[in-house]
Structure 1
Amino acid sequence: MDSRERADSDEREGGGERADSRRDGPHGAAVVAEDFGLKGARGWAFRHVHVDAAPGTVIVIEGPSGSGRTCLLLALTGRMRPTEGRAEIAGLPLPRAMAGVRRISGLGHVPGVSDLDPALTVAEHLRERALLQSRFGGSPRALLRPRARRTAEARDRIDAALTAAGLHTSALPKGERTAVRDLERLEALRLSVALALIGRPRLLAVDDLDLKLSDADRAEAWRLLGSVAKAGTTVLAVCGQAPEGADAAVRDTVIRTNEEGAADALAETGRA
């Protein structure tokens, strides 16, 4: 394969941000799906999903636990292979470009997939994610920069992610040395969002957004995702119940999985 063919292959797989930006324009990823479905050994996890969401919007997957909502989140972020229909994330087709979709999407809180380590501190999580991003998520040429410059760039990226997630480490019991096990639920959610944002994803996915949150914290969590979307990143959020009242302003597209379970879960979409 010559250099031109390799470049074409990278573009088809979503290997470069420039290719994606030509397709989509804004930083956020457009999400489009038609008759999207996934069938496993026990039947349908979800099917008949239709989505047409613009970049920089909030997509809510609402439904009870066991209705296929997490499988849908993982499929739309390139982590599970769909079995019917079609979908495009920032112009990248699923399932053909699953690797490309994974590169432009970031997972916040997704139980069993991106759990925080309760024994590690906030600082350790942040340093680890920044290191992984510099080693595997950036340009190989960036690794040739002076160490001091790379350290400063990593710190800038961490600070920007913390600001976007609204996590003020100075307010934590031990600052960045606070262990994850000592964080409040909302603080842990903010940390998981910050870790995902270090990679500057075009699509941010968060599962179980309203689990174990008070009404006040739940409203704050929706405001957080709304601010991330307003800054340009498309957000995909799973919850038991979509926000009502003033918080509904963050809700652009709602996908509702029915209550009959994963075997025949049916998705219904609509503009709020």
Structure 2
Amino acid sequence: MEANPDEPHGAAVVADGFGLKGPRGWAFRGIGFEAEPGSLVAIEGPSGTGRTCLLLALTGRMKAQEGHAEVAGHPLPRRMAAVRRISALGPVPGVSDLDPAFTVAEHLRERTLLQRRFDGSLKALLRRPAERSADARARIDEALAAAGLDLSTLPKGDRTSVRDLERLEALRLSIALALIGRPRLLALDDTDLKLSDADRAEAWALLRSVAASGITVLAVCSEAPEDALRVSTATRTPVAPAEKSPAPKSPAEAAEAPEATEATEATEATEATEAEPTAAGDDTATTANTEKTAHTANTEQTEETAQTEKTAHTEKGEADALAEAGRA
């Protein structure tokens, strides 16, 4: 069946209250955005906030437990297999790493064979060897051009090992390999990792050109460019009012509460013991001040411990969810 020429090549991506939970907590939660076909979407946030898990969930590689998302009209997580067929992964550490011992030519040949074996139609498999070779060469040339990777500029041409590539060259190769399958959605992790300012600008220019060709791009980064659609994993959607627990007091409020109570108690004690010796009054004031200081210190220590446990809980949830995706 031929594709409708009026249908956009890229995939629209919609998420509403999207969340993924691992064995030890939420990797990400409360994600919501809308991206048109051919958009450049930057998933930004600090490390450990679920950026990679969100990327894998939106490409059908991890199963979300909360909210709703759609990619090209395919609902997630119900139609994860359909989303995987129209999406491709660029560099994602631990999932789609390049083999440092392979040459560029070996990577390209391997990806072409996998594409033909698992994603090709039965009609394509029955074509003559010469036709299959010509199609494979055309796909490779098209992908290399789109990724801006000129093999003639590499130290040993297409026989250059991955371990000898610069970071930006390796990024271009990963994107080229992903584009061989002609996906509607391209996803890549750590876009700006270990890149100089000049290389970072080139990387974003490359992704803009891929998006301009009609392919929707999801890119994880530490800092998004101004012209990208920003999705932050550091922002959480508040829990429904029925599920909310009393909001914890800030250190200032927690300190003020015992001060007010103890001030009232001190006033009452003073009025009741005006006739007592001055020495007794001094002892009472000293005791009240000591109890107030200990109470304030305990309150601040409790809040600091709770914040630390919350951060560790979130990072463990993301790590466990990512480990499960690797085993799948």
Q: Report the TM range for the smaller structure's normalisation.
A: 0.7 to 0.9
Q: Identity, % of aligned pairs?
A: 70
* Equivalent position to 2:132, from 150, 171, 174: 150
Give the Cα–Cα distance (whole angstroms) in 2 for the partners of residues 51 and 262 of structure 1. 27
Name the aligned partner's letter for residue 138 of structure 2.
D
- The structure in which a higher percent of residues are helix is 2
Which 4+ runs in 1 deviate beyond 3 A? 259-265
- Corresponding position: 1:183 with 2:165: yes
2:77 aligns with: 95
Normalising to structure 1: TM-score of the pair?
0.85
Normalising to structure 2: TM-score of the pair?
0.71
Give the Cα–Cα distance (whole angstroms) in 2 for the partners of residues 42 and 17 of structure 1. 46
Q: Is the 8 A contact 1:29 1:203 kept in 2?
A: yes
Deviations 1:53-86 (A, max 9, x none): 0000011100111110000000000000000101
Residue ranges of structure 2 left out of the alignment (5+ in a row): 236-309, 316-328
**What is the DSSP-based 3-state SS (H/G/I as helix, E as strand, rest coil) of the residue aligned with 2:171?**
helix
Residue ranges of structure 1 left out of the alignment (5+ in a row): 1-15, 266-272
Q: Is the 8 A contact 1:45 1:262 kept in 2?
A: no
2:154 aligns with: 172
2:37 aligns with: 55
- Corresponding position: 1:211 with 2:201: no
Give the Cα–Cα distance (whole angstroms) in 2 for the partners of residues 25 and 43 of structure 1. 40
Deviations 1:25-69 (A, max 9, x none): 200000001100001111111111111100000111001111100
**What is the DSSP-based 3-state SS (H/G/I as helix, E as strand, rest coil) of the residue aligned with 2:149?**
coil
Question: Larger radius of gyration, structure 1 or 2?
Answer: 2
Distance 1:169 1:262, change over 3 A: farther
Deviations 1:88-108 (A, max 9, x none): 000000011000000100000
1:264 CA displacement: 5.3
Give the Cα–Cα distance (whole angstroms) in 1 for the partners of residues 197 and 171 of structure 2. 15
Distance 1:72 1:237, change over 3 A: same
**What is the DSSP-based 3-state SS (H/G/I as helix, E as strand, rest coil) of the residue aligned with 1:200?**
coil
Distance 1:144 1:120, change over 3 A: same
* Equivalent position to 1:119, from 98, 101, 112: 101
Give the Cα–Cα distance (whole angstroms) in 2 for the partners of residues 149 and 191 of structure 1. 25
Deviations 1:135-171 (A, max 9, x none): 1111111111110110011000000000000000000
Give the Cα–Cα distance (whole angstroms) in 1 for the partners of residues 33 and 2 of structure 2. 23
Name the aligned partner's letter for residue 255 of structure 1.
V
Name the aligned partner's letter for residue 157 of structure 2.
G
2:110 aligns with: 128
1:269 aligns with: none
Give the Cα–Cα distance (whole angstroms) in 2 for the partners of residues 106 and 200 of structure 1. 8
Give the Cα–Cα distance (whole angstroms) in 2 for the partners of residues 126 and 64 of structure 1. 33
2:66 aligns with: 84
Q: Is the 8 A contact 2:104 2:161 kept in 1?
A: yes
Give the Cα–Cα distance (whole angstroms) in 2 for the partners of residues 137 and 42 of structure 1. 36
Q: Is the 8 A contact 1:38 1:44 kept in 2?
A: yes
Distance 1:174 1:226, change over 3 A: same
Q: Is the 8 A contact 1:56 1:234 kept in 2?
A: yes
Give the Cα–Cα distance (whole angstroms) in 2 for the partners of residues 17 and 159 of structure 1. 23
Distance 1:97 1:188, change over 3 A: same
Deviations 1:107-132 (A, max 9, x none): 00000000000000000000000111
1:179 CA displacement: 0.3
